[in-house]
Amino acid sequence: MRVGFLGLGAMGAGMAKRLMASGHELSVWNRSPAPAEALRREGARCLLDPQDAFQNEVVVSMLADDRAARAVILESGALERAAPGAMHIVCSTISVDLAKELIEAHGVAGVGYVAAPVLGRPDVAAAGELNILAAGADDAVARAQPVLDAIGKKIWLIGKEPYKANLAKLAINFMLAAAIETMGEAFTLAHRHGVDVETLRDVITNTLFAAPAYKVYAPVIAARTFEPAGFKLPLGLKDVRLALAAGEEAGVPLPFASVLRDNFIDALGHGDGEKDWSAIADVAWRRAGLT
Amino acid sequence: MRVGFLGLGAMGAGMAKRLMASGHELSVWNRSPAPAEALRREGARCLLDPQDAFQNEVVVSMLADDRAARAVILESGALERAAPGAMHIVCSTISVDLAKELIEAHGVAGVGYVAAPVLGRPDVAAAGELNILAAGADDAVARAQPVLDAIGKKIWLIGKEPYKANLAKLAINFMLAAAIETMGEAFTLAHRHGVDVETLRDVITNTLFAAPAYKVYAPVIAARTFEPAGFKLPLGLKDVRLALAAGEEAGVPLPFASVLRDNFIDALGHGDGEKDWSAIADVAWRRAGLT
Amino acid sequence: MRVGFLGLGAMGAGMAKRLMASGHELSVWNRSPAPAEALRREGARCLLDPQDAFQNEVVVSMLADDRAARAVILESGALERAAPGAMHIVCSTISVDLAKELIEAHGVAGVGYVAAPVLGRPDVAAAGELNILAAGADDAVARAQPVLDAIGKKIWLIGKEPYKANLAKLAINFMLAAAIETMGEAFTLAHRHGVDVETLRDVITNTLFAAPAYKVYAPVIAARTFEPAGFKLPLGLKDVRLALAAGEEAGVPLPFASVLRDNFIDALGHGDGEKDWSAIADVAWRRAGLT
Amino acid sequence: MRVGFLGLGAMGAGMAKRLMASGHELSVWNRSPAPAEALRREGARCLLDPQDAFQNEVVVSMLADDRAARAVILESGALERAAPGAMHIVCSTISVDLAKELIEAHGVAGVGYVAAPVLGRPDVAAAGELNILAAGADDAVARAQPVLDAIGKKIWLIGKEPYKANLAKLAINFMLAAAIETMGEAFTLAHRHGVDVETLRDVITNTLFAAPAYKVYAPVIAARTFEPAGFKLPLGLKDVRLALAAGEEAGVPLPFASVLRDNFIDALGHGDGEKDWSAIADVAWRRAGLT
């Protein structure tokens, strides 16, 4: 299939390569040209203007945040000039508000729309092992299926209104951040009482918490090696902020998310902006007087 | 081996039966007589006085809380009258402070001492599938080994000072409570945005959070069926209080544990004292105006 | 002086009347016409277009929030068409971000600019008893002085950069909200222990907390009479949200503000949106199982 | 009147001197002898044993905490040996639980009992300017009146059950700690945005927050001069802990108190144990990356 692809960060680049490896014909665009150039050498066509991507049957976008998604999708006028019958798979983690605006805008422009945020870090994306949270009208999801199959190992249908996949993604990222904070507090408590943190990590990740969320982050937190970043701390703050905004919109207090937000800000103020988001675990460490 | 067993609540009774099934000869005591009577019918000897348990080679105690453990072990004078060479395996979840007092008291009395709190609910105990967090001097742990092998499927060595096993247990129970609260907030957020909670549960327990902590509690929270209780809410409050006390003692602020404590109190004040501790997830539900 | 006045809510209307009573000649505008019409009967001139206000020497604006201020001041093109030498006194409680945009925009348009948010509720405004937090260049503040003198009883100079007055206003509104929450918790605790809340109110407002913040709100909270609203609850949430955003921007975690935000959302979700913002005190009451 | 006085810390010594200055005849005791010796030189009689104090008509106690009060009043056997008709005025800040035990014990021993915790720091005590929160049976309060009049400038009657005065005192100390934390957050926010903290202090303590709680602590926090301590930080943690315990007992979540507790622990872990309790304001400062 001819697929336009917008946004070639670490996640997007991995997903684009998976699409090419599955035989799809890619036209790619990225704000800075280097990542697109790299894909060109592997056979992709480079686009100078993101709206050209919408001349394909299917467009996949994996843009960094609301601002980028709004600029590239809505403010560019791309939807109005899209090829008849085009459809758009939005994989970005965006706000519920923007997700609802996108539903409206795609409807007006007559462009098919599926929200398909993904679970997994760049290495998982490159391996085609992502879990995909998909939401959209039945026929739109059906049309998106071959593309999603190439990107991920499993597609979870969240609902018929696309924004629901975005909400689910925010809820899950909040859960990940909460697991990180939980380990930060528990490991600091253990350490301060002379319990070996590696021992505690070993117990939890092989018993009650033997799941990827903990198996990925517990070793990082136990060893306090937050670089290189798999997912940078400011992006974590962004996602928690979006979860809080979604809570505010729906009348749901989220006290854990409020603690997380405070701790992300604390971490940023202590110079951890380039570190992995799991560095918020260091806030507990630091507040306990450890260095 | 001749084993004395103190404390036949749901957990203790299951553990005692496993010991009998493994060929150990049990003398049992419980504050209220019915559970001991039930075990007598299966071959145990009933004791009228808990200090008689300490006439055995090994004593296992699984008492409800600090108050019970202090009364039965310390204030009864049992240690002073223990048989020479006796050793005591304390499985209760107790405070770090009491754990340290017990180390001292057993040392003075010349009674061997291993702390061995367990991970698992009553059904896991009955099946002999508990994970055991053991800490004590090497020779004491070695002597306790045959008994612990009969009770659990795996023994995790936490350290040589017994109180460290108690601290680890408190840290893990805190982590469980945090996972429950996290799901309470995330599921309420999803529900309020029209996302089917069962769908979200399905995604998380099969992807990033595919671990017992979530597989056990997510269905309970999603369905909001908090009765019958596997572990009653006031016991959860007790454990979070002990974690907070351990944090205070060691200079470790635990903001998630503070939120948990507030929510346990909220739940108790709303009549949830007989429910499973996962009913604190209902605090988020209720605060969002849902009933 | 000829003064344009934008925004005739309860606060703005009181301030506009004070200006007229001091002999200033007013041209007024409000989004909905009724409040302007009321002032017309007292001698003001009504404007159909807010940008006409900027044909006066001085414009005072008291608009509801960022959205209104942005629309009326920036997006209307009013600054570009302002009379030469015009100056603008912005009394609204707005975000630090918008405050900085306004500095830039007034500079570009050559319109003088003073930020002058006020402390006080509508009755205080009508009595000319407001405290004014003023910030701006010395000459701009000097020119604003006669107008500010007519509005308030005291002008506090916060700095030379106008946004600082906005920040100070947000900090003080946060402090008020924190005082309300503090009383909510303390009074609920007292009530649950059988201590008469009126007695406690009497003690605190006549001893350690004998200040307007407490004297105004303690009786409201003690009697739980949150209607009619002096300052509606959603406006309180807005201000706390702006304080949190200012904290995030500057790397300052504000854990009390986070609790406040959660409680405002809780209150809104329980139908308190038309009540006074001090109704967040009822969150503590409700969480304690009281009704 | 012949008055026994127990506990001559900074507060107690000031109160004892006021009693002597009012013509009462004092017999004093303190755990460490120096403060009693100092009073002896001013005419007091020194007691070797605290129970001798109960041979007077009236005993006033101002002991440091639950542990001291329990030891001196309950475990010493003093009440059982008290002179017939003796009455006891307990000024210490103690837990509600202990307060209830004391009611019981005084009743059994037939000793009159009034709880009379005080508001004010040592300089206020020395000046006889304390506010006294008194609770007890009408006749007991009437008998205590001449003594209380000598100690404080105003007696607030909180109720007929003595523990209510203790609860009120805990509620007010919680309010003070919350005011301190509020200023810590607000001032840090202001400072980080370039607003002069002294200016903000000037505004608040002369407008909405013109009350002793703020007038005493705002200058300390603004200048960050937390030594010498008027009331040491660990005592502040103790009082917040007692407020939280009272909340737990009565089913009242206190989220602000939970934040305070975390911050007291943070401060202690950063070596602030000898500083004034207002040093918890430095937690906000430090978390914002300031030093």
Angle between helices A255-269 and B163-192 (to 10 degrees): 110
Q: What are the residues facing C58 on neighbouring strands?
A: C3, C87
Q: Report the half-sphere exposure of A8 (CA within 13 A, side-chain side).
A: 26
The pTM for the full model equals 0.96
Cα separations (Å) of D262 from A80, B253, C276, C284, D269?
A: 54, 5, 30, 19, 11
Residues of D in contact with B280 (CB under 8 A): none
Q: How far is residue B151 CA from its own chain's centroid?
A: 14
Cα separations (Å) of B95 from A201, B180, B238, B242, D104?
A: 21, 22, 10, 6, 29
Q: b/e for A115-142, b at 16 or more Cβ within 10 A?
A: bbbbbbbbebbbebebbbbbbbeeebbe
Q: What DSSP string runs through C30-51?
A: -SSSHHHHHHHTTTPEE-SSGG
Do residue B208 and residue A172 have CB atoms under 8 angstroms apart? yes
A 33-92 residues inside an 8 A Cβ radius of B: none
* pLDDT bracket for residue B8 (50, 70, 90): very high
| Residue segments in chain A with a per-residue pLDDT below the cut of 50 | none
Phi, psi of D163, rounded to the nearest 5 degrees:
-60, -20
Q: Given a contact as 3+ CB pairs under 8 Å, which chains touch C? A: A, B, D
What average pLDDT does range C124-136 have in this prediction?
94
The encoded tokens of residue A79 equal: 């939807």
| Residue segments in chain D with a per-residue pLDDT below the cut of 50 | none
Which pLDDT score is estimated for D291?
Answer: 84
* pLDDT bracket for residue B291 (50, 70, 90): confident
Do residue C119 and residue D207 have CB atoms under 8 angstroms apart? yes
CB atoms within 10 A of CB B186: 32
C258 touches chain B (CB under 8 A): no
Cα separations (Å) of D12 from A280, D5, D29, D75?
A: 45, 8, 11, 21
CA angle C66, C69, C70 (to 5 degrees): 80
Which pLDDT score is estimated for C173?
Answer: 98
**A with C: how many residue pairs have Cβ under 8 Å apart?**
47
CA–CA separation, C284 and C267 (whole Å): 10
> Are C113 and C61 contacting, i.e. CB atoms less than 8 angstroms apart?
no
> Are D177 and D277 contacting, i.e. CB atoms less than 8 angstroms apart?
yes
Mutate to test the interface with D, among C192, C208, C231 (most CBs of D within 10 A): C208
> Are D54 and D81 contacting, i.e. CB atoms less than 8 angstroms apart?
yes
CA–CA separation, C230 and C119 (whole Å): 13
Residues of C in contact with A247 (CB under 8 A): 265
C269 touches chain B (CB under 8 A): yes
More confident residue, B284 or B121: B284
The encoded tokens of residue C255 equal: 């854990």
CA–CA separation, C166 and C134 (whole Å): 9
Residues of B in contact with D253 (CB under 8 A): 262-263, 265-266, 269
Strands (E), chain B: 2-6, 25-29, 45-46, 58-61, 87-90, 112-115, 118-119, 130-135, 152-159
Q: Please tell me whether the peptide bond between B228 and the residue prior to it is cis, using omega within 30 degrees of 0.
A: yes
* pLDDT bracket for residue C218 (50, 70, 90): very high
CA–CA separation, B67 and C3 (whole Å): 74
Which pLDDT score is estimated for C252?
Answer: 97
The encoded tokens of residue B230 equal: 């596997």
Q: Which helix (H) or strand (E) holds D29?
A: strand D25-29
Write the pLDDT tens digit of every residue in B65-106. 999 999 999 999 999 999 999 999 999 999 999 999 999 999
CA–CA separation, C60 and C118 (whole Å): 12
Which pLDDT score is estimated for B181?
Answer: 98
Which pLDDT score is estimated for A291?
Answer: 84
CA–CA separation, B132 and B56 (whole Å): 22
By C-alpha distance, the chain D residue nearest A265 is: D288
In this complex, which of A255, A269, A289 lies closest to D288 when CB atoms are compared? Answer: A269
Q: How far is residue D106 CA from its own chain's centroid?
A: 21
State the residue for tokens 């010395």: C138
Q: Please tell me whether the peptide bond between D50 and the residue prior to it is cis, using omega within 30 degrees of 0.
A: no
Does position C160 have pLDDT exceeding 90, yes or no? yes
Q: Which helix (H) or strand (E) holds D115?
A: strand D112-115
Does position B136 have pLDDT exceeding 90, yes or no? yes
Does position C181 have pLDDT exceeding 90, yes or no? yes
Which pLDDT score is estimated for C291?
Answer: 84
Whose CA is closest to C198, among C224, C168, C179? C224
Do residue C259 and residue D257 have CB atoms under 8 angstroms apart? no
Which pLDDT score is estimated for A218?
Answer: 98
Which pLDDT score is estimated for D49?
Answer: 94
